């Protein structure tokens, strides 16, 4: 059995399409200093750092170097720092790396930081296109939006999901984001407004797609002994894992289902002894960069049967008042600093367990799930947090 590990602080920054009010190191410092303050720790208390970002969006190669002193003075103190990059899952992978730093017994207090300035990118989809296999698939123009559109087309065809269902997902997330001061898009949106936004890649409309955001996030992981000293109500890690599917977009036949996520969910639920996720989880922060993905994630994560995802949102099960609120933060749909978004999911889940989610708090959260996906929808990470130690 690994050591028990808990999150003792979680601090996402404010986000916008371009945080021109801060330099890159200042943005990272904003997240790190907020996390340290929340935990009541000093920079010197940090034993090691894990850092996530997807450099190609920043216009800076290896930005963790430039930002090294913003990470609790890691350079001057010659601390261990490890850079993680795994596409959209970068933030989730950075959290996992932070978890393993402590679980291994090598470190007691570890800072996980993720940042992204998509505002420095001329066009994020062009950057994403370079991820696609260069000989057969790249010239088709595939990027995150077009691949998500394929998922939607297949889901509509196979399961009868409609544009109106997607609009319900948008409305729920936009409404939640208005209670989250760190969200990027904070405005009223009705279902009719959503259906009136312009088509981006059929059947996805503008309101079905995430924005490009600048933002950062910091989390502090601690060993059992330190966690009990630092936090009154830490968020214990009771399950964690990631999975890597193949890289050929054309090799994934079932776009309407996310089988790699189902497989990962089974592994993580087994670790955490979860039998019925809909009944046992109190909140979920999912990586819903596109509305259709939230619906497919409900199914892959076992909140409902395959093909029944849209019914959950029609019945309001995943709204703030429902049985299992999904993305009280507004999710990736309303805020997407790409490499940081996965860590923000973990941070939001941790804040819910710690009872520190302010206006977006779901009452009495005991178990929270954080998810991220990345690459050409081939990577996933999951982290399950609990108010009770495993």
Partner 1 sequence: MTARVAIVGIGQTALTTAADDRQYHEHDFEAARLALADAGLDRGDLDTVICSGWDAVDGRTISDMHTAMSAGGYLKDSSHVGEDGIMALAYAYMRLTAGLFDVALVSAHGHAESSFETVSNVVFDPLFTRPLGQSHLVSLALQANAYLQRYGLSEEQASAVVVKNRDNGAGNPRAHLQQSVGMEEVLASDPVCYPLRALHCPPQSVGGVAIVFASEDAARRISDKPVWISGISWAIDSYDLGSKEISRLGSLATAAGKAYRMAGISDPVKDLDLAEVHDITAFHELMAYEALGMAPEGGAARLVEDGATALGGALPVNPSGGVLCANPYGAAGLIRAAEAAQQLRGDAGQRQVPGARRALAHGMSAPSGAAARTDCVLILEGG
CB 366 within 8 A of CB 44: no
- Answer for which of 22, 33, 69, 153 binds partner 1 (CB under 8 A) is 69
What is the rounded distance in angstroms from the CA atom of residue 292 to the CA atom of residue 170?
Answer: 10
Q: Which span sits near partner 1 by CB under 8 A: 14-22, 103-111, 284-292, 303-311? A: 103-111
As to burial, measured by CB atoms within 10 angstroms (0-12 exposed, 13-18 middle, 19+ buried), residue 382 is buried
**What is the distance between the alpha carbons of residues 105 and 117, in angstroms, rounded to a whole number?**
33
Among 22, 43, 62, 200, binds partner 1 (CB under 8 A): 62
Binding flag, residue 335, partner 1 (CB under 8 A): no
The only residue of 246, 254, 305, 359 in contact with partner 1, by rule CB under 8 A: 246
297 touches 377 (CB < 8 A) = no
Q: Which of 17, 42, 130, 196 binds partner 1 (CB under 8 A)?
A: 130
Q: Are 204 and 162 in contact (CB under 8 A)?
A: no
Q: Does 337 bind partner 1 (CB under 8 A)?
A: no
* Using rule CB under 8 A, residue 83 touches partner 1: yes
Backbone torsions φ then ψ of 189, nearest 5 degrees: -145, 125
SS3 content of the chain, % helix, strand, coil (to 5): 40, 20, 40
Whole-number minimum distance, CB 363 to partner 1, in Å? 33
Decide whether 13 or 86 has the Cβ nearer to partner 1: 86
# residues near partner 1 by CB under 8 A: 60
Q: Which of 87, 211, 215, 325 binds partner 1 (CB under 8 A)?
A: 87
CA gap 268, 332 in Å, rounded: 22
* Contact map string, positions 145 to 184, toward partner 1, x by CB under 8 A: ----------------------------------------
239 binding partner 1? (CB under 8 A):
no
Q: C-beta of 120: minimal distance to partner 1 in Å?
A: 9
Which of these, 128, 49, 96, 108, lies nearest to 338 by C-alpha position? 128
Gap between the Cα atoms of 236 and 221, Å rounded: 9
The CA distance from 384 to 7, in Å, is: 11
Q: Per CB under 8 A, does 22 bind partner 1?
A: no
Question: Rounded to an integer, what distance in angstroms lies between the CA atom of residue 317 and that of residue 346?
Answer: 21
Segment near partner 1 (CB under 8 A); pick from 60-68, 186-194, 205-213, 282-290:
60-68
Count of helices and strands (H, E) across the chain? 15, 11
* Selected binder of partner 1 within 6, 8, 39, 68 (CB under 8 A): 68
Q: How far apart are the first and last CA of the chain?
A: 10
* DSSP letter, residue 207: G
Q: Does position 64 bind partner 1 by CB under 8 A? A: yes
Beta-sheet pairing, 199-201 with 214-223: unpaired
Q: For residue 142, give both structure tokens.
A: 């595939």
Cβ closest to partner 1, residue 89 vs residue 176:
89
Q: Which residue stretch of 35-43, 168-176, 260-268, 325-333 sits at the interface with partner 1 (rule: CB under 8 A)? A: 260-268
**Interface with partner 1 in residues 179-208 (CB under 8 A):** none
Per CB under 8 A, residues contacting partner 1 are 1-3, 23-24, 54-56, 59-62, 64-66, 68-69, 74-76, 78-87, 93, 96-97, 100-101, 103-106, 127-128, 130-131, 133-134, 241-247, 260, 263, 267, 374-376, 378-379
């Amino acid at each position: 059995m690994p050591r028990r590990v808990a999150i003792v602080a979680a601090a996402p920054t404010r986000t916008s399409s371009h945080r021109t009010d801060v330099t890159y190191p200042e943005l990272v410092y904003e997240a790190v200093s907020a996390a340290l303050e929340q935990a009541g720790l000093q920079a010197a208390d940090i034993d090691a750092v894990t850092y996530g970002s997807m450099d190609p969006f920043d216009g800076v190669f290896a930005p963790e170097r430039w930002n090294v002193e913003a990470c609790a003075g890691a350079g001057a103190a010659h601390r261990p720092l490890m850079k993680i990059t795994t596409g959209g899952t970068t933030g989730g992978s950075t959290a996992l790396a932070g978890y393993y730093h402590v679980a291994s017994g090598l470190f007691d207090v570890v800072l996980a930081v993720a940042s992204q300035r998509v505002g420095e990118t001329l066009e994020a989809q062009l950057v994403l296109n370079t991820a696609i296999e260069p000989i057969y698939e790249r010239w088709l123009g595939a990027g995150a939006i077009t691949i998500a559109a394929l998922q939607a087309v297949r889901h509509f065809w196979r399961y009868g999901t409609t544009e109106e269902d997607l609009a319900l997902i948008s409305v729920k997330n936009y409404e939640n984001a208005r209670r989250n001061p760190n969200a990027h898009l904070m405005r009223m949106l009705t279902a009719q407004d959503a259906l009136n936004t312009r088509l981006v890649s059929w059947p996805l409309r503008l309101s079905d797609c995430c924005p490009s955001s600048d933002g950062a996030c910091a989390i502090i992981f601690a060993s059992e002994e330190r966690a009990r000293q630092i936090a009154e109500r830490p968020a214990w890690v009771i399950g964690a894992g990631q999975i890597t599917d193949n890289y050929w977009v054309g090799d994934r036949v079932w776009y309407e289902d996310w089988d790699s996520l189902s497989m990962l969910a089974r592994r993580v639920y087994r670790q955490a002894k979860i039998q019925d996720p809909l009944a046992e989880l109190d909140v979920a922060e999912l990586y819903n960069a596109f509305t259709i993905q939230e619906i497919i994630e409900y199914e892959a994560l076992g909140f409902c049967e395959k093909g029944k995802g849209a019914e959950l949102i029609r019945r309001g099960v995943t709204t703030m008042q429902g049985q299992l609120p999904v993305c009280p933060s507004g999710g990736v749909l309303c805020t997407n600093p790409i490499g940081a978004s996965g860590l923000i999911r973990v941070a939001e889940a941790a804040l819910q367990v710690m009872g520190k989610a302010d206006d977006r708090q779901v009452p009495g959260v005991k178990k929270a799930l954080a998810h991220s996906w990345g690459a050409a929808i081939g990577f996933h990470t999951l982290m399950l947090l609990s108010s009770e130690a495993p």
